[in-house]
Every structure is written in structure tokens, then in C-alpha cells.
Amino acid sequence: MASVTDSFVADLDELLEYRTEKTILYAQTNTMKLVNRMKFSMPEESTLGDGLGKGYGLLGQAGSGKLRAAALHRFSTAPASAAAAAEEPIQPAVEVKHTQLLINGNFVDAASGKTFPTLDPRTGEVIARVAEGDSEDIDRAVAAARRAFDEGPWPRMTAYERCRVLLRFADLIERHAEEVAALETWDNGKTLAQAAGAEVPMVARCVRYYAGWADKIHGLVAPADGAHHVQVLHEPVGVAGQIIPWNFPLLMFAWKVGPALACGNTVVLKTAEQTPLSALYVANLLHEAGLPEGVLNVVSGFGPTAGAALCSHMGVDKLAFTGSTGTGQIVLELAARSNLKPVTLELGGKSPFIVMDDADVDQAVELAHQAVFFNQGQCCCAGSRTFVHERVYDEFVEKSKARALKRVVGDPFRDGVEQGPQIDGEQFNKILRYVQSGVDSGATLVAGGDRVGDRGFYIQPTVFADAKDEMKIAREEIFGPVQTILKFSGVEEVIRRANATPYGLAAGVFTRSLDAANTLSRALRAGTVWVNCYDVFDATIPFGGYKMSGVGREKGIYALRNYLQTKAVVTPIKNPAWL
């Protein structure tokens, strides 16, 4: 089937208001070039954590355990310092093995033969050139997925057999954990401590969770009129199109592919153009685990070509997207204008973090700091609006300033580094424009506000005080290491102000009062409310947003619903007279 009609292509600029933006790319000769790149997605991926009773989720706790120690021993040799960003970058001891498209079980070049560079955010230099898939490649991938669903063994396997494939996949992820984590750090810029100590274990855990669900998806018998037997069946939806973001590419791969495959679907997955490497690597591991050809197809490419083609393809039965709210609206419109395929959206946020006057200020400062700055601030659920009660406001601001100034920014492969570079030059410049907006609008810049070093995309941890709700830094998603601290005087006031946003992804509450905790958690319009913790995640916990932060939920049993159709089968209990 055709993927994008000529009318879609002719209309794209007017209909979707795509913006042409420039990204700085470095040639291998280190000569800087400007390359125009159409941006389909500016994803805000979800953060992660498991809490384990610590209250901080994985924020600041990501580096514990043998896996982290082993990874740091292998891939890092030097300690961090406050000036780590100025030091010569460590060369990762990992090979980039997969740069082609994965279609029908084989790694192949793009039909056009084109490639594009994926960059090291520490330097802006090219890591590798990756196949640039477009609408023709999406057609090939969807055709392979359709054959695998209509004719192949995957939907017809016993659920137990699908479970075993996914369990073998989880084992392979753990066996190759060091390489997977190093690729994620190299391509994305997040710290190796976070990638190795937090994300890789969570990916394996998520895959095992959905493997366990494969043989537990049951139908039911519905009561009817007494003359008929009614079975309600849950069947796989078919070919699922999935688009993952650049901020958590590995984790989002698991969140999307895990439930889709457990339910018996086939998948065409588009990677973010900024971070294709880890998804291609683990997709190969999934085939090593025994996944039949055509069941998972991975296309690297850009939004207006590969992304738009996938969203509007008549052969795709279901679409799941993680990214910005603006791009989510485009995805929804393309899906509606094609075959009305159902869509799951996990989108942006501007999450409030509320500190009551009875809070332990030192603990509140640390938790609020981690809630904002984790993953370089590139988290859709970052607690970037820090509401602090007026009685503790001044103390909180001073201690938040001190904490930000102590944050270690540098090469994410170095031990002790808390914050790596932003993803690319576009995001880097966008964040600095927001910082300037905060200064221009009258907020008090108490820490940071500038770049770190003269190489790569590093930004100082930045803290604003005396901010007002109407300022851009308090209203718009910055997606960077910028904390905006606002003052409030009472519970009803902070509920009203916290909810005065088009977003509703997450919120945090820090208090000793059970009354305040219960009142706030029920009044806040958000898909997740963390009380005296933040970014506590598990494969069992649903994640998604109210309002313009998304449609549907990921993770837990709720994600399975995204990939199942419900069918009623009605049969007479007795033969009709005409038989």
C-alpha cells in the first residue's frame, strides 16, 4: 500500500507548519558545516527511576551496583572535576556495529542510498553515518510487518513461546549491558552511570514484565439473554507504528516494543534522528533471541519523510508516539486523515514541584534539584516549576543556588560527573534563548546561565528566583537544566497556579503533612503525582498525561490495551430452527 499520498506531500508545509531549523554538524575533518534539517520531532521522553525506598527514584542514585562499577571500569579511566567539560573527551571502547535499516530480519541500506551523521554531543563530531530511511523504506518495512502478521508465525505462536523469546531478549540485554550503555551515552550525552546503572537494568526489567504478560491476556464470557453464548476476545491489533524520542531512546524502545510484541503484533519503529544507535543494536539482539523475520523493523530517518510516512500509512493499524506536544498534534492529524488508526501519545509537560512550609528544606532542595536536572533537564516530566512556600522560600533559594553551583558538569564517561552535554546545537541554543528570556523578563538569575567550555553542548545548571507565572520560563517547556523557583502562600493558591497550564504530565509534592499530601495529590491535574519522591518508575506503573500531555498510558497493564482489539463472538446456545 502507498504510504503518503501526493496530496499529503504537497500540503505538508501548509498543513503541518514544519519549521526548517539549522543544526551544527562537524565533518570528520573538524570543519564546521551548517546543514538544513527539517525537524519532525523534538521529543521529551520520560524520565525513570525505581525509588527502592530512597525517595529519589534514580535521580542521583543511578550509579549504584556492580553493573555501573564494571561499566565505569571498562569505559572510563579518569576522575571527574568541576572543569571536566574542558578535558579531552574519553574515547568510548565500543564499536558501532549497526548503521543500516532493519527490514524483514536483515540490515539493509536505505532505498535512496542516503546516509546522515549521528553526532557526539560532547564535541559535535560525527560518530557514524546512518542509513537515512524515507517513505520508500517505510513502505518496505510496513510490507514486511504486514506479511509477518498475516502469514508469519509470531501471532500464531503460543503465548508461552512469545514469552520465551522476550525472556531471551532480556538476558541478551544484560549480557551486552556494557556495550548498550556505552552506545547510549556516546550517542545521547547522558552519564554512563545513569545509562549503565539505571536504564539498561530497567529495559531488561520492562521486557521481562511484558514477557510475563504474554500468556495472561485472557478474554471473558459475557452474560447475555440466556439464548446466546458470548465470548469477548482480545486480539492483536496488527501492524504497530512506533516513533521514539532522543532523550531516552533505549528505555522508550522497551516501553513500546515490549507490550506490542507480547500481544502478538508486528512493529515498524522509527528512531529519533539524533540517537539511532542503541535502538539498532538492541533490535539485533531481539533477532538473536529468536524473533521471526519481519516482526520488528527499525527505520532511522527524519520526521517529514520517514516519520510522516509512518503516521499516514494505510497499512499501519496502530500508532504510538513519544515527543513534543506540537509534533503529537501533527501525528494525530496524519493518523486521522489516513485510516483513522488509533494513536497513543506521550507528550510534553511543565510539571510543578510543590514544597510546603513543613518540609525539611535540605531534603527538599536535593529532591527538587534532581527532579529538574536529571538527564540534563531533558525530561518531559521534569519538575521545572518549583513552587516553594513563602515561609521557607529564601532559605530554599540560597540552598538551591549552592547545590547548582556544586553540580559536576563534564564528559559523561567520567566517574563523578552528574551532567553531560545537551543533545545537539539546536537544543543547546534553544535553552540559552530561554535563559535570556528569563533575564529579560525580570527573574533573578541566581546560578548558571551560560555554556560550559567552548566545545560540545554543555550548559551550566541554571536557577531562577523571583519568577512570575506569566514568564516564558514558568510557562513553556525548556527541556534543559533550568530551574524556575516561584513563591506561594497557601494550598488553594498553589493548586490553582499549578493547574494553570495546558500540560498535565506529572507533579511533585514535598510535605510532612498527610492532609496536605492527600489534598494536593487529588487536586493536581496530572497523570502522575509523586509525594515525597520524584521520578519513581517501574514497569508496573502506568505513565501518561492529562490535557495536552498525551493520550493513553504506557507501562503496566494499561499499555497492553494499546495493542489489543476487542472482539465479541455471539453464538446461539441451541441450533436455530432453520439449521
**What are the tens digits of pLDDT across the range 543-577?**
999 999 999 999 999 999 999 999 999 999 998 88
For residue 577, what pLDDT is reported?
82
357 and 210, same domain (yes or no): no
pLDDT tens per residue, range 517-543: 999 999 999 999 999 999 999 999 999
- Cell, residue 518: 492527600
284 and 362, same domain (yes or no): no
Asked which of 15-24, 75-84, 90-99, 234-243 is least confident by mean pLDDT, the reply is 15-24
Residue 110: domain span: 6-32+100-347+552-564
Distance (Å, whole) CA 249 – CA 280: 10
Annotate 515-526 with b (16+ C-beta within 10 A) or e (fewer).
ebbebbeebbbb
* Residues in CB range of 14: below 8 A, 6 or more apart: none
With a cut of 70, say whether residue 60 has pLDDT above it: no
For residue 556, what pLDDT is reported?
97
- Domain of residue 410, CATH code: 3.40.309.10
Chain centre to alpha carbon of residue 430: 19
333 and 408, same domain (yes or no): no
Is residue 429 in some structural domain? yes
376 and 307, same domain (yes or no): no
The percent of residues in the chain predicted with pLDDT above 70, rounded, is 85
Q: What is the mean pLDDT of residues 427-436?
A: 98
For residue 50, what pLDDT is reported?
33
Is residue 25 in some structural domain? yes
For residue 85, what pLDDT is reported?
59
- Cell, residue 186: 556516546
- What is the sign, positive or negative, of the torsion defined by CA atoms of 234, 237, 238, 239? negative
Q: How confident is the model at residue 506 (pLDDT cuts 50, 70, 90)?
A: very high
Mean pLDDT, the chain, as a whole number? 88
With a cut of 60, say whether residue 205 has pLDDT above it: yes
- Domain of residue 324, CATH code: 3.40.605.10
Ramachandran quadrant class, 577 (left: phi over 0; alpha: psi -120 to 50; beta: rest): alpha
248 and 342, same domain (yes or no): yes
pLDDT tens per residue, range 459-499: 999 999 999 999 999 999 999 999 999 999 999 999 999 99
Number of domains in the chain: 2
The radius of gyration computed from the CA coordinates of the chain, to the nearest angstrom, equals: 24
Q: How confident is the model at residue 226 (pLDDT cuts 50, 70, 90)?
A: confident
Is residue 74 in some structural domain? no
Catalytic positions, written as ranges? 346
Residue 455, number of CB atoms within 10 A of its CB: 16
Q: What is the mean pLDDT of residues 8-14?
A: 38
Chain centre to alpha carbon of residue 550: 13
Q: What is the mean pLDDT of residues 348-365?
A: 98
Asked which of 58-72, 116-130, 440-454, 512-526 is least confident by mean pLDDT, the reply is 58-72
With a cut of 70, say whether residue 71 has pLDDT above it: no
For residue 11, what pLDDT is reported?
39
343 and 356, same domain (yes or no): no
For residue 84, what pLDDT is reported?
57
Annotate 328-357 with b (16+ C-beta within 10 A) or e (fewer).
bebbbebbeebeebbbbbbbbbbbbbbbbb
Q: What is the DSSP string of 355-401?
A: E-TTS-HHHHHHHHHHHHHGGGG--TT---EEEEETTTHHHHHHHHH
With a cut of 80, say whether residue 79 has pLDDT above it: no
For residue 83, what pLDDT is reported?
54
Q: What SS3 state is found at 13?
A: helix
* Residues in CB range of 579: below 8 A, 6 or more apart: none
How far is CA 246 from each of CA 251, 252, 297, 303, 526, rounded to the nearest angstrom? 10, 9, 18, 13, 23
430 and 319, same domain (yes or no): no
Where do the H-state alpha helices sit in 245-392? 249-262, 277-288, 308-311, 325-337, 361-373
557 and 536, same domain (yes or no): no
For residue 57, what pLDDT is reported?
52
For residue 328, what pLDDT is reported?
97
266 and 385, same domain (yes or no): no
For residue 578, what pLDDT is reported?
82
With a cut of 70, say whether residue 54 has pLDDT above it: no
Is residue 570 in some structural domain? no
Q: What is the mean pLDDT of residues 218-245?
A: 95
Q: What is the mean pLDDT of residues 508-521?
A: 98
With a cut of 50, say whether residue 242 has pLDDT above it: yes
Q: What is the mean pLDDT of residues 130-149?
A: 99
272 and 254, same domain (yes or no): yes
Is residue 190 in some structural domain? yes
Is residue 84 in some structural domain? no
393 and 512, same domain (yes or no): yes
With a cut of 60, say whether residue 75 has pLDDT above it: no
With a cut of 80, say whether residue 29 has pLDDT above it: no
Distance (Å, whole) CA 340 – CA 342: 6
Is residue 356 in some structural domain? yes
25 and 127, same domain (yes or no): yes
Q: How confident is the model at residue 72 (pLDDT cuts 50, 70, 90)?
A: very low
Is residue 360 in some structural domain? yes
* Residues in CB range of 150: below 8 A, 6 or more apart: none
Q: How confident is the model at residue 295 (pLDDT cuts 50, 70, 90)?
A: very high
